[in-house]
Amino acid sequence: MTMLNHGPPQTLMQLKSQIVAGDIVLSGALQKAAAVAFDAPDRIAFETRNLFAQRSGVAIQTVDRLSHQLGYRNFREFRNLFRDHLRKHPAHGDRAACTQRSAKPNSLGTPGRAVK
């Protein structure tokens, strides 16, 4: 994982662009959890850390590591990024739009299946 020099990303778009550009590199389970978060921002915005870990198929410690490696103090700060995004862009929380990605690359820009 590349360390962030300017603090954590302040918007979801900043975070996505840093990952896609390779400025932030996540491995294995961290990438899996991040993809689940990006694929359903409306869900992570209101989930507990435990529920998000379970839905992502990773350990709670992995969720904590993801939050820390992205520059956030804890899962709550990471989750707030998604809450803020939904407040500013309510249409992005539309579940109908999320169901149309089975043949498309996941939201991290890598080919993959949609995560339910």
User: Rounded to two decimals, what is the model's pTM?
Assistant: 0.72
What is the rounded distance in angstroms from the CA atom of residue 116 to the CA atom of residue 108? 16
| Residue 45 lies inside a defined structural domain of this protein | yes
pLDDT, position 48: 96
The domain of 87 spans 12-98
42 Cβ contact list (under 8 Å, min separation 6): 86, 92, 93, 94, 95, 98
| Residue 109 lies inside a defined structural domain of this protein | no
- Using a pLDDT cut of 70, give the percent of the chain over it: 73
| Residue 76 lies inside a defined structural domain of this protein | yes
Closest CA to 57 of 77, 82, 27, 35: 35
| Residue 55 lies inside a defined structural domain of this protein | yes
Q: How far is CA 50 from CA 58, 64, 76, 87, in A?
A: 10, 10, 12, 23
Q: What is the pLDDT of residues 91-116, one digit of tens each?
A: 755 543 443 343 345 556 554 444 33
| Residue 104 lies inside a defined structural domain of this protein | no
**Domains: count for the chain:** 1
Q: What is the CATH number of the domain that holds 81?
A: 1.10.10.10
| Residue 106 lies inside a defined structural domain of this protein | no
| Residue 94 lies inside a defined structural domain of this protein | yes
Report the 10 Å Cβ neighbour count for 79.
Answer: 21
